Amino acid sequence: MSLMDALPTPRLRWEGWHPNVVLVSLSLIMLAAFWFFDVVSMAPNRIVLGTGYGALEAFGWPGALLATLLLSFIGILACQPTHRHYRALLAAVIVIMALMPVGLMASSYLLIDPEMPQARLGLGTAYWVVLFVLLLCLVELRLRLNLTRIWPTLLLCGVAVVWWLCAAFGLETLALVQEFKARDQQFLSAVAQHIKLVGIAVSVSIVLGLALAMLMRRYARLQKGAFAVLNFLQTIPSLALFGLLLAPLAWLAATVPFLGQLGVSGIGTTPALIALIAYSLLPIVRNTYTALEQVSPETLEAAKGMGMRAGQRFWQVRLPLALPVLLEGVRITTVQAIGLTAVAALIGAGGLGTFIFQGLGQAAMDMVLLGALPILMLALVVDAGLGALAEALRPGGTT
């Protein structure tokens, strides 16, 4: 044996070091965006384009240093992650998101002259990048901590409450807040109309989808033709479908006075609902049919052996076991309908899409955000809520 073989092998300091590459990378992306892109912009009024400002100008040295430390904290903890570190990272992500409007308040104080009442503070590229990457961190932490979908949603709702309080009492100069205050009643009416359209379309789609799926199970020949028609409807662009419905509905309203009295016309709510229902049927029918077919024949045979009639087997055995998969179809349909309803504003159906298209026409991006952000929040809440309910109803799921 040589002398080198007899010497103990030195242990590398980083042996056993297993960083979370995703979180470390996301932390570096946030730091790079924070320092190299504009954090906020300031415009003297609604018409003039804003001037971008970096981290030092927007927050000053103390604020920029604090933000850098908080963003670095995520990467540091992710270098040697444990379950305890993941919980600390989750708390850090939520705290950073809750403090982001406080940074805007500081920027408003530093950048906006009190003698300029029309001045507006806008969100810069760095702000949006950091917010988006923090949401990606939240997704990664949810998977690492094995949390159900409802917990991140509840945490984000808490962050939204903090943002709302800051917007109501300390962010009067924020362009998005000014757009809301200028048309608050119109905004609330648009939210109600958007939810109404989605609710009616999804409810009708569920009833029609259940009926069609049960008919397809009873009559096998119907399956191929029904899926072909539903798939064809999905290939038609939404604007094209609205256009195709305009002339027939206008003719019906003119030919049948009773339909005109009910409010049927070529524009407005009627074509929007027909289009939304047409787009919503495929995921409902597909998931319902698949869910009902996947129920174990042995389970149904055991129920039959217990003396259950066909109707009892369907309502007490088959449908409850198929419900989690069926709810996934409802989730997909509802999220899809929330987004498609925005396009319905082009045919006079109202909803939050009104602000999106008005903002695009006026080149006012803050008005676009006033319509787009609530749509995004509605979709996230519905997706998390229905997803958590499906997980809870699944055998062995989290209650």
Is CATH 2.102.10.10 what the domain over 184-393 is classified as, yes or no?
Answer: no
CB of 329 closer than 8 Å to CB of 182? no
> Over 70: is that where the pLDDT of 338 sits?
yes
> Over 90: is that where the pLDDT of 198 sits?
yes
The pLDDT-based confidence of 10 (bands split at 50, 70, 90) is: very low
CB of 394 closer than 8 Å to CB of 328? no
CB of 45 closer than 8 Å to CB of 175? no
> Over 50: is that where the pLDDT of 306 sits?
yes
CA–CA distance, 80 with 15 (Å, rounded to integer): 12
Amino acid at position 383, single letter:
D
pLDDT for the residue 363 = 76
> Over 50: is that where the pLDDT of 14 sits?
no
CA–CA distance, 346 with 321 (Å, rounded to integer): 41
CA–CA distance, 364 with 357 (Å, rounded to integer): 10
> Over 50: is that where the pLDDT of 79 sits?
yes
CA–CA distance, 135 with 155 (Å, rounded to integer): 11
Residue 43 structure tokens: 């415009």
What value does the CA radius of gyration of the chain take, rounded to a whole number of Å? 27
CA–CA distance, 284 with 206 (Å, rounded to integer): 6
Burial class (CB in 10 A: 0-12, 13-18, 19+), 223: middle
pTM of structure: 0.82
> Over 50: is that where the pLDDT of 129 sits?
yes
HSE (CB half, 13 Å, CA atoms) of 131?
17
Cα–Cα nearest to 117, from 46, 203, 214: 46
- Mean pLDDT in residue range 68-85: 88
CA–CA distance, 358 with 186 (Å, rounded to integer): 13
The pLDDT-based confidence of 337 (bands split at 50, 70, 90) is: very high
The pLDDT-based confidence of 267 (bands split at 50, 70, 90) is: confident
pLDDT for the residue 320 = 80
Please count the residues of the chain: 399
**Where is average pLDDT lowest: 35-49, 94-108, 131-145, 309-323?**
309-323
Amino acid at position 197, single letter:
L
- Mean pLDDT in residue range 315-337: 86
- As a whole number, the mean pLDDT across the chain is 84
CB of 275 closer than 8 Å to CB of 241? yes
> Over 90: is that where the pLDDT of 29 sits?
yes
- Of residues 115 and 67, the one with the higher pLDDT is 67
Domain parsing of the chain, residue ranges? 21-176, 184-393
Cα–Cα nearest to 239, from 271, 208, 199, 217: 271
Reported as a single tens digit per residue, the pLDDT across 216-229 is 888 878 888 888 88
Residue 70 CB: number of other CB atoms within 10 A? 15
SS (H, E, C) the chain: CCHHHHCCCCCCCCCCCCCCHHHHHHHHHHHHHHHHCCCEEEECCCCCCCEEECHHHHHHHHHHHHHHHHHHHHHHHHCCCCHHHHHHHHHHHHHHHHHHHHHHHHHHHHHCCCCCCCCEEEECHHHHHHHHHHHHHHHHHHHHHCCCCHHHHHHHHHHHHHHHHHHHHCCCCEHHHHHHHHCHHHHHHHHHHHHHHHHHHHHHHHHHHHHHHHHHHHCHHHHHHHHHHHHHHHHCCHHHHHHHHHHHHHHHHHHCHHHHHCCCCCCCHHHHHHHHHHHHHHHHHHHHHHHHHCCCHHHHHHHHHCCCCHHHHHHHHHHHHHHHHHHHHHHHHHHHHHHHHHHHHHHCCCCCHHHHHHHHHHCCHHHHHHHHHHHHHHHHHHHHHHHHHHHHHCCCCCC
